[in-house]
Structure 1
């Protein structure tokens, strides 16, 4: 992308670590300016922002809980004020809660997973849709999961349920916004090597998942970031309503 062309401005939620961080760096390499939303780890967020700036992109870091409407509005308001009109959204912020059977899950955990993974995605999509339709175009990529179709029994069926909802949101919103030139797609990762597994109580989960994955290994965050970058790019200009599965064959 030349410096004379207007650079895309993309909001990435959950951008401090894992898939979100890899996505920020990949998009910076491809000419996007970034708004990095994060909820907890400011040091990790700043580290990712530094990598984005090193790639030659502008980056604004915003602490925001996507389950809170006011935070979502502030995230997008800050993006517009500091970088200009938002042209892309990567809905990535998500939580699983502890691994285990549904019978053992607390109501508090169920509510938090629903609030972040579903309500948060809806709030971000709503704001992005309002802004993008007003300006005549844009692209949204929701991060789903292979769990949406696998169901994740014994691990987190409630998380899987929110990801199935993400797929329905993606298909429906793509049809709703297509006439306004706003594309909506999703990437559904399989098991990826991130610190999410340790956070939910099973650091060895990627190695175990590799045993039942046709490609014989967990995925890497950069492999998901590449799929997201393609869906946001002009190369995907006729792609909308698609759930792109990047799961090693699962």
Structure 2
């Protein structure tokens, strides 16, 4: 597309921030959705602008319908028609067994990781389908097939649902010219592990990864950027695993 405008949820840190920076460098107008840290989101926006892209930040909760409506309204009002969506926002809750998980944590994981993706995808479809073009990339996880026993099986379950959504929505929206794909990261070295209470987790896991190291956020961003690009114009309904061989 000649003028990309891409919404990235959870764009203020980690994988989301890397995606925003990569897309900005490739000429996208980037809408950086974030939940709490306005300063971090604005720093990512500055990086996008320095790379030659346009950027706007929008605060909101993707599991809240009104916030999703506003996210896309600001995107279209400030940068133009939305051509791309990256559903990156996600939460894990504390590490541990399902038996010990709090109901509030389970509900939040489902609300953000599944309902939020559904709400954002629905709004993108409503906008893109009449225009006959667009691309959606969902950030899934290798946990969807590994199950993550003892860590967060509830998180893994939501990511498996995202994979199913990717396949079904690709078939539903394909006739309208909209592609839907997913990237499934493995163990990526981001601040998410510290937020879960285990900052050294990614590097400790390296011995069980065939490539013997955790991934970098920039490696996920590259996969997302390719799936959004015209080079991937015949790819839809795919779940691209970027997990070091796991």
TM-score by length of 1: 0.97
Partner of 1:204: 200
Moved over 2 A (4+): none
Q: Distance in 2 between matches of 1:242 and 1:6?
A: 24
Partner of 1:64: 60
Partner of 2:176: 180
Partner of 1:14: 10
Q: Are 1:148 and 2:144 counterparts?
A: yes
Deviation at 1:43, TM superposition (A): 1.1
Structure 1, residues 104-138: CA drift from partner, whole Å, max 9, x if none? 00000000000000000000000001101011110
Structure 1, residues 68-93: CA drift from partner, whole Å, max 9, x if none? 00000000000001111000000000
8 Å Cα contact 2:9-2:89 kept in structure 1: yes
Deviation at 1:6, TM superposition (A): 3.6
Q: Distance in 2 between matches of 1:208 and 1:171?
A: 33
Structure 1, residues 132-168: CA drift from partner, whole Å, max 9, x if none? 1011110000000000000000000000000000000
Partner of 1:87: 83
Q: Distance in 1 between matches of 2:153 and 2:181?
A: 23
Q: Distance in 1 between matches of 2:147 and 2:204?
A: 17
Say which SS state the counterpart of residue 155 (structure 1) adopts: coil
Q: Are 1:50 and 2:65 counterparts?
A: no
CA RMSD of aligned residues (A): 0.7
Say which SS state the counterpart of residue 142 (structure 1) adopts: strand
Q: Are 1:246 and 2:234 counterparts?
A: no
Say which SS state the counterpart of residue 208 (structure 2) adopts: coil
Match of 2:113 among 105, 113, 117: 117
Deviation at 1:211, TM superposition (A): 1.0
Q: Distance in 1 between matches of 2:16 and 2:128?
A: 22
TM-score by length of 2: 0.99
Q: Are 1:38 and 2:34 counterparts?
A: yes
Deviation at 1:31, TM superposition (A): 1.0
Structure 1, residues 16-47: CA drift from partner, whole Å, max 9, x if none? 00000000010011110100000011111011
Deviation at 1:56, TM superposition (A): 1.1
8 Å Cα contact 2:26-2:53 kept in structure 1: no
Q: Distance in 2 between matches of 1:65 and 1:145?
A: 21
Deviation at 1:182, TM superposition (A): 0.2
Q: Distance in 1 between matches of 2:89 and 2:105?
A: 16
Which runs of no fewer than 5 residues in structure 1 stay unpaired? none
Between 159-168 and 43-52, the greater mean CA deviation after superposition: 43-52
Q: Are 1:222 and 2:218 counterparts?
A: yes
Which runs of no fewer than 5 residues in structure 2 stay unpaired? none
Partner of 1:138: 134
